[in-house]
Amino acid sequence: METMVHTADAEGIALGAELLRRGDVFALPTETVYGIAADARNGAAVQKIFAAKGRPQDNPLIVHIADLSMLEGLVREAPERAQLLAPAFWPGPLTIIMPRGPQVAAECCAGLDTVGIRMPSHPAAQAVIRASGCAFAAPSANLSGSPSPTTAADVLADMQGRLPLILDGGPCDVGVESTVVSVVGEHPMLLRPGHITLEQLEAALGEEVLLSGAILEKLKDGEVARSPGMKYKHYAPKADITILEGSFAQFKAYVDAHRALSPSCLCFTGEEQALGVPCVAYGREGDGDDQAKHLFRCLRALDEQGDGIVYARCPQKDGVSMAVYNRLVRAAAFRVVKL
């Protein structure tokens, strides 16, 4: 098929809304990353997402809404904790896992009895939902396993000929996918870190939020992915990335010792010249917001340069930086060297 790129203006919104209503798919911007949208109530439409991405069917999708009234039928109930989190963070980059309602297509939920719901803040996403009347399921608009797209050009690079329409709303503000928290069960649990931090969730709930072991480590054999982004290797460029955990001096010494491999570096802003090898800087050291906004674009830049072996500076593992580490360690297939 021919893929049309259209500005996310009134005409583009109308085109996207019509595609949703007739059971088709298209790509659109959110504040986190670009996504591929399909009517969450239409199983045949949702299947087109998996086909376009080459996405495994055991990886659940997130359903996007424009206002709280749309929860009816999508969730069986809105637990008390969800009622605390929604007014604190919606619209915004938070997905809340709740008991699945009867209107959600089974294809969205990977066999689970829960569903992830979020209310995006991006005006184009909000407008599409309102114009179509459809809550849409949407994963990131990339080929499965590759870095998520934060510009329409990134989407086109992966989805040319796979989607009928890409709405161009400019670069995404956040740059990594939404925080995912489950409020099903005895204790709330963070399943995927994002722009909304663990500390913010705990402040809103007034209680401890448990941390899934799969955030910083691989899923155990046979363990079910209860949220998108929990798979073993994800967000990965073609380059082989190894994270080097230590000081800049230690990092440079390691790179110097391995120059025979002709490595490249994924480093922090301002470190490029000192390393003396091809570099891509993905943000300021210690600034999780800056790193999150640029990480995926920089992972794609590594492939555009044709880099083969890449040594990456290790971000912190708290606040928004936890989300950056979570994405980077999966892009590196959990190859981490402690210096």
pLDDT digits (tens, 9 = 90+) for 291-319: 999 999 999 999 888 889 999 999 999 99
pLDDT value at 235 more than 80:
no
Q: Is residue 140 within 8 Å of 77, Cβ to Cβ?
A: no
Yes or no: say if 272 and 279 are a contact pair by the CB < 8 Å rule.
yes
| pLDDT computed for residue 72 by the predictor | 96
Angle in degrees, CA 272, 277, 282, rounded to 5 = 40
Q: What is the mean pLDDT of residues 70-94?
A: 97
Q: Angle at the Cα of 245 (from 271 to 180), degrees rounded to 5?
A: 100
Q: Which helix (H) or strand (E) holds 117?
A: strand 114-118
Q: How far is the C-alpha of 107 from the C-alpha of 45, rounded, in Å?
A: 9
Q: How do residues 243-267 score in pLDDT, each as one tens digit?
A: 999 999 999 999 999 999 999 999 9
Domains of the chain, first to last: 4-215 (3.90.870.10), 240-338 (3.40.50.11030)
E-strand ranges in 53-101 read 62-64, 94-99
Q: What is the pLDDT of residue 217?
A: 80
Judged against a pLDDT cut of 70, whether residue 152 lies above it is answered with yes
The residue-averaged pLDDT of 169-197 equals 97
How far is C-alpha 35 from the chain's CA centre?
Answer: 9
Q: What are the beta bridge partners of residue 36?
A: 27
Using CA atoms, how far apart are residues 250 and 337, in angstroms rounded to an integer? 11
Residue 230 has pLDDT above 90, yes or no: no
pTM over 0.75: yes
Q: How confident is the model at residue 214 (pLDDT cuts 50, 70, 90)?
A: confident
CA distance linking residue 244 with residue 236, whole number of Å: 17
